[in-house]
């Protein structure tokens, strides 16, 4: 089996045209295990075959542990109906997965349909290292959402699943007529968890994505909506992962989590809006 760095090297040599320098926006060329621009900025592959495009070390609140739990939940089938829906829009696409975390969503899609060589990035290095356990032809890197290290009109699809967005950058790196697929929580998403975490705080129990949807409509054309709502039976040995995978858990004590995992989490509601818009 190929080493991770060899896999990364092969990718940047074959697909150097997908990238651009995040410092000076010049084109990049692959040299051995690095990508270099004509102004001398150089980005070296890590041993895991990833590239690090941030100027400064980013302090991330996200922990490796949280991404491992997230992967467990995705692998346990919690998002299967979502993945089945997304796969239908991803056949033969060249995908950029924005804020890909540990990469499970893109990997599951690559398992289901054929993709062109695709890229996932996140600001959290820990998550990107986990993503390299993947065996598909996907390239993983650490990058800044507001200054993407990719050339203009490179990708045919941007996936933006539960992650922040920068629509100016999305439009720049998307091909003409390319699509953005954005997945955002709807009002019932993980409602059992919110209720358990914040039993006395109704404002935290409720969630509205209205502003997010409006902004998306202003940024892309021919927007298609799909609301996906279902209940997922949480396998008993996954209840702890469900509690640990979400930023919702911040500020909740382990004792409280322990009692929630025992009692209230047999079923969890997944309630999502999927927005698909075109770049013009
Ligand atoms: Zn440069």
pLDDT of 62 > 70? The answer is: no
Rounded to the nearest whole angstrom, what is the distance from the C-alpha of residue 143 to the centroid of ligand 1?
15
Q: Are residues 148 and 176 in the same domain?
A: yes
pLDDT band for position 252 (cuts 50, 70, 90): confident
Question: Strands (DSSP E) along the chain, which ranges?
Answer: 28-31, 34-37, 42-44, 51-52, 95-98, 118-122, 138-142, 155-161, 174-185, 221-233, 267-278
Contact 141, 97 (CB under 8 A): no
CATH at residue 107: 3.40.50.150
Rounded to the nearest whole angstrom, what is the distance from the C-alpha of residue 48 to the centroid of ligand 1?
23
pLDDT of 247 > 70? The answer is: no
Give CA separation, 254 vs 197, 259, 262, in Å.
11, 9, 12
Rounded to the nearest whole angstrom, what is the distance from the C-alpha of residue 20 to the centroid of ligand 1?
8
Cα separation of 120 and 193, whole Å? Answer: 28
Question: Residue 73 corresponds to which tokens in the numbers above?
Answer: 């939940």
Examine residue 112 and state whether it is found in any structural domain, yes or no.
yes
Cα separation of 98 and 95, whole Å? Answer: 9
Examine residue 256 and state whether it is found in any structural domain, yes or no.
no
Rounded to the nearest whole angstrom, what is the distance from the C-alpha of residue 41 to the centroid of ligand 1?
4
Strand pairing of 138-142 and 51-52?
Answer: parallel
Q: Are residues 84 and 140 in the same domain?
A: yes
| Predicted local distance difference test score (pLDDT) of residue 205 | 64
Q: For residues 104-126, b (16+ Cβ closer than 10 Å) or e, as one string?
A: bbbbbbbeeeebeebbbbbbbbb
Examine residue 242 and state whether it is found in any structural domain, yes or no.
no
pLDDT, one tens digit per residue, over 16-39 is 999 999 999 999 999 999 999 999
Contact 164, 42 (CB under 8 A): no
Chain mean pLDDT for the chain: 92
Rounded to the nearest whole angstrom, what is the distance from the C-alpha of residue 104 to the centroid of ligand 1?
31
Domain boundary residue, one of 49, 67, 87:
49
Cα separation of 244 and 258, whole Å? Answer: 11
Contact 50, 128 (CB under 8 A): yes
């Amino acid at each position: 089996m190929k080493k991770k760095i060899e896999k990364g090297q092969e990718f940047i040599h074959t697909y150097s045209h997908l990238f651009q320098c995040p410092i000076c926006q010049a084109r990049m060329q692959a040299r051995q295990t690095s990508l270099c621009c004509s102004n001398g900025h150089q980005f070296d592959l890590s041993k895991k075959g990833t590239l690090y495009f941030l100027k400064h070390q980013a302090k991330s609140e996200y922990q490796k542990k949280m991404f491992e739990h997230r992967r467990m939940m995705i692998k346990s089938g919690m998002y299967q109906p979502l993945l089945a829906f997304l796969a239908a829009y991803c056949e033969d696409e060249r995908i950029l997965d924005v804020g890909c975390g540990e990469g499970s969503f893109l990997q599951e899609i690559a398992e289901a349909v054929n993709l062109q060589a695709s890229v996932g990035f996140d600001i959290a290095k820990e998550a990107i290292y986990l993503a390299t356990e993947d065996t598909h032809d996907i390239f993983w890197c650490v990058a800044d959402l507001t200054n993407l290290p990719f050339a203009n009109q490179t990708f045919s699809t941007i996936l933006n699943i539960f992650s922040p967005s920068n629509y100016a950058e999305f439009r720049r790196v998307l091909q003409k007529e390319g699509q953005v697929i954005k997945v955002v929580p709807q009002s019932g998403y993980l409602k059992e968890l919110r209720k358990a975490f914040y039993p006395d705080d109704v404002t935290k129990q409720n969630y509205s994505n209205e502003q997010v949807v409006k902004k998306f409509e202003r940024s892309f054309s021919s927007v298609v909506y799909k609301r996906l709502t279902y209940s997922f039976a949480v396998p008993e040995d996954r209840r702890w992962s469900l509690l640990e995978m979400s930023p919702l858990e911040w500020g909740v004590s382990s004792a409280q989590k322990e009692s929630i995992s025992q009692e209230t989490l047999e079923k969890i509601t997944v309630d999502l809006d999927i927005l698909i818009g075109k770049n013009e």
